Amino acid sequence: MKLLTHILFLALAVVLMDAVAVNEEYIPYFFKGDHLFKGFHGKAELSNESFAELDDHHHLGHVDAAFRMHYENSSDHDHMFFFLDNKVFSYYKHKLEDGFPKDISEVFPGIPDHLDAAVECPKPECDEDSVIFFKGDDIYHFNVQTKAVDEREFKSMPNCTSAFRFMEHYYCFHGHMFSKFDPKTGEVHGKYPKEARDYFMRCSKFSEESDHVERERCSRVHLDAITSDNAGNMYAFRGHHFLRRDGDNDTMTADTIENAFKELHSEVDAVFTYQDHLYMIKDDHLFLYKVGEPHTHLDGYPKPVKEELGIEGPIDAAFVCEDHHIAYIIKGKNIYDVELKASPRVAGNERTIHLFENVDAAMCNREGVKVIKGNHFYHFMSTMEFVAGRSLPEQHRVSLELFGCDH
């Protein structure tokens, strides 16, 4: 099954996607043929496992287009719409709404059958709360409130095989390439098209033309781990690659984990820095490296996480705050303290994190604690504020505010 999943995932990355939509929890759904990929990495599943009626009514071969209606003034708020040939399906919390499927012309009058793509466009990103439909060279702006249709011409855009609104930006996928566009005018600014596999999928290998630093700075795939050392250098890990930001001049470099940390090979669960050493956790094992050029793997490692930190792996995230000697270990909704000077080390002082069901990564420096969830991070002045907090602080974009990617 793992081999099949890997093959299907590669198929998604190599050939065009049929449709893309974001669910009510802002997780992207990628549709290809009769399969569905939830998020930017992970296992493929049959689409009818999540949306059974698509197959019941239509012998599902593929989804033409999909989007999530996210307009609070609409009766269809937070519904997901799927388009197959001349039919439209409306789901709310993965349940098909009564009376569906219906003809596309009944629900979206003036919109043709056999669509290529669709994407929601809220006001003021569009003039009014709208849905943009794509079919060949034809572009249709559908007003959600009045049901009026405005046909437009997007001269600078390629024909979209799927479209996607993510973090208030609009993306047109064509083949395995994508372009970011203005939803009002269709104008494409910047150096596009770009490789979708470089930015929206977790792949171990990328195109020869790929700018590795830009890809890692601007990728929409969530981080696996992040840390900073005593010199202020930051390390951010994602899949098979990592990004390093120099503490002296903010210069960024990208490399493979295989090249810099060959004993790890790829994909870490958590990383923290303590006394000029990188503690790198993968599954049930801890790898220890002396920070330097190159990083030096210490003899006798890897060792079991339980033996080194007094807690069973795997671990979601871990961090140490500058000159302190406590490692904070996060597993699901719980956080534990490990006194690193103690022998043997024991994970204690278990507490519940109230603001998150789980996190992807976390780091601590003189500015406080940064907690990363998906494509965003949240800044807390201290570990206590993070653990005891009852309301989320301001949301920040990882790509923009940590890595300086402006697109």
Global confidence as pTM: 0.59
- DSSP state letter for 260: H
Looking at residue 94, its pLDDT comes to: 80
Looking at residue 351, its pLDDT comes to: 96
Cis peptide before 344, with omega less than 30 degrees from 0?
Answer: yes
- Residues 382 and 299 reside in one and the same domain: yes
When pLDDT is cut at 50, 70 and 90, the band that residue 202 belongs to is low
CB count within 10 Å of CB 287 equals: 19
In a domain, residue 203? The reply is no
Which of helix, strand or coil describes residue 213?
helix
Looking at residue 28, its pLDDT comes to: 78
pLDDT tens per residue across span 160-199:
888 988 878 898 988 778 888 999 989 887 778 877 766 6
* Averaged pLDDT of the chain: 84
Q: CA-CA distances (angstroms) from residue 183 to 21, 251, 328?
A: 16, 33, 44
Looking at residue 4, its pLDDT comes to: 40
Looking at residue 273, its pLDDT comes to: 95
3-state helix, strand, coil in the chain (%, to 5): 15, 40, 45
pLDDT tens per residue across span 318-342:
999 977 899 999 999 999 999 999 9
Looking at residue 334, its pLDDT comes to: 95
302 is written with which tokens?
Answer: 């890897």
In a domain, residue 86? The reply is yes
pLDDT tens per residue across span 207-225:
555 567 777 888 777 889 9
- Residues 221 and 352 reside in one and the same domain: yes
- Residues 136 and 227 reside in one and the same domain: no
Instruction: Print the domain residue range for 297.
Output: 215-402
In a domain, residue 356? The reply is yes
- Residues 20 and 139 reside in one and the same domain: yes
In a domain, residue 253? The reply is yes
- Dihedral pair phi/psi, residue 394, rounded to 5°: -60, 140
Looking at residue 55, its pLDDT comes to: 62
Looking at residue 303, its pLDDT comes to: 95
In a domain, residue 207? The reply is no
Please give the residue that has the higher pLDDT: either 222 or 140: 140
pLDDT tens per residue across span 338-377:
999 999 999 999 999 999 999 999 999 888 999 999 889 9
Residue whose entry in the numeric block shows the structure tokens 């994970």? 347
Domain-terminating residue out of 147, 173, 198: 198
- Dihedral pair phi/psi, residue 323, rounded to 5°: -85, 5
Alpha-carbon Rg for the chain, nearest whole angstrom, is: 23
In a domain, residue 361? The reply is yes
Cβ burial of 25 (10 Å; 0-12, 13-18, 19+) is: exposed
Average pLDDT over residues 234-263: 87
Q: CATH code at 334?
A: 2.110.10.10
Helix residue ranges per DSSP H, 24-157? 47-50, 52-58, 104-107
In a domain, residue 359? The reply is yes
The lowest-confidence range among 36-50, 213-227, 297-311 is: 36-50
Domains in the chain: how many in total? 2
When pLDDT is cut at 50, 70 and 90, the band that residue 383 belongs to is very high
Domain-terminating residue out of 172, 198, 224: 198
- Residues 192 and 222 reside in one and the same domain: no
Q: HSE on the CB side for 143, CA within 13 Å?
A: 9
Helix (H) or strand (E) holding 243: strand 241-245
